[in-house]
Amino acid sequence: MTVVGVIGAALVVAGVPFFLFGTLGLLRLPDTYSRLHALAKGDNVGLGLVCLGLGLQSGSVLVTLKLLMIWVLMLIASATGAGLIARTALARGVKPHGL
């Protein structure tokens, strides 16, 4: 395995805990807003690391760029989606936990 391949594998492995803790936050945090906070942040970092790692492992610049573009699109979509869910919840009168 080349050095780049090892770095790629390490990045993929490093991305997994972010998904894990994002999911843990979704299951364990008390209200919509903090769950969104955990998901939208954790999963995006995790996806970025996994995409970068897979790109490095593929050994192709084109594939790496495609994967990174998927990540950028995902960032935009998840930020918009999270904002939309939070604002809809607020408009429907869902109170943040502890207020």
Give the range of 20-28, 37-45, 53-61, 74-82 binding other proteins by CB under 8 A.
Answer: 74-82
Q: Binding residue for other proteins (CB under 8 A) from 27, 76, 98, 99? A: 76
**What is the C-alpha to C-alpha distance for residues 39 and 96, in angstroms, rounded to an integer?**
16
From the list 26, 64, 22, 61, the residue with the least C-alpha distance to 45 is: 22
Q: Binding residue for other proteins (CB under 8 A) from 3, 91, 93, 98? A: 91
Total binding residues toward other proteins, as defined by CB under 8 A = 11
Question: Based on CB atoms, which residue is closest to other proteins, 10 or 72?
Answer: 72
User: 66, 23 in Cβ contact below 8 A?
Assistant: no
**What are residue 9's phi and psi, to 5 degrees?**
-60, -40
Question: Based on CB atoms, which residue is closest to other proteins, 3 or 41?
Answer: 41
80 near other proteins (CB under 8 A): yes
User: 56, 10 in Cβ contact below 8 A?
Assistant: no
User: 12, 56 in Cβ contact below 8 A?
Assistant: no
Q: How far apart are the first and last CA of the chain?
A: 54
Give the range of 11-19, 23-31, 43-51, 79-87 binding other proteins by CB under 8 A.
Answer: 79-87
Which residues would be at the binding site for other proteins (CB under 8 A)? Answer: 73, 76-77, 79-80, 83-84, 87-88, 90-91
